[in-house]
Amino acid sequence: MNDTEYIVGVYNYINAFPEIHSDSAYYLLYLLDEKGLLDKSAARKLYDDRFKSELSSADIHQNMIGPFDSTDALNQFAFQLCEELNAEKVSLLSVQEYNGLLESSQTASDFHRDLLLKGNIMENIERKKKGFLRRFF
């Protein structure tokens, strides 16, 4: 498996199923890596294995991952996905933050840089340790 340099997740707080009077929750809408859109299959499997509860047993919209009842739960999921994909770091941005970056960026490289610098950034310390030790062994 190739190591992923970074993951950027874009989330929103919405009521995904207003027709059944469900509560609003956090949903992960997009996952990006250095190559573009990230295949969500690993993220879906991780969600189903470790985060899905009886409260989330309703059919989940196929383009979103969730629900998460808090940003803490969303952060835990994102960090575990970072470890699973052996990424160096993960950055979570709300849709509003993401749209703000789109509006304020002058060039694609500015936008790319800001994706990695803004939002809630969590680093995978274990990957750095392994990378450091790999130089010696």
pLDDT, tens only, 81-112: 999 999 999 999 999 999 999 999 999 889 98
Given a cut of 90, is residue 118 above it in pLDDT? no
pLDDT tens-place string over residues 39-93: 889 999 999 999 886 555 444 566 899 999 999 999 999 999 999 999 999 999 9
CA angle 103, 107, 112 (to 5 degrees): 85
- Angle between helical axes of 95-104 and 108-117 (0-180°, round to 10): 150
Residues paired with residue 25 on neighbouring β-strands, in sequence order: 14
Contact by Cβ (8 Å): 100, 72: no
| Domain ranges for the chain | 6-134
Ramachandran angles phi, psi of 82, nearest 5°: -60, -45
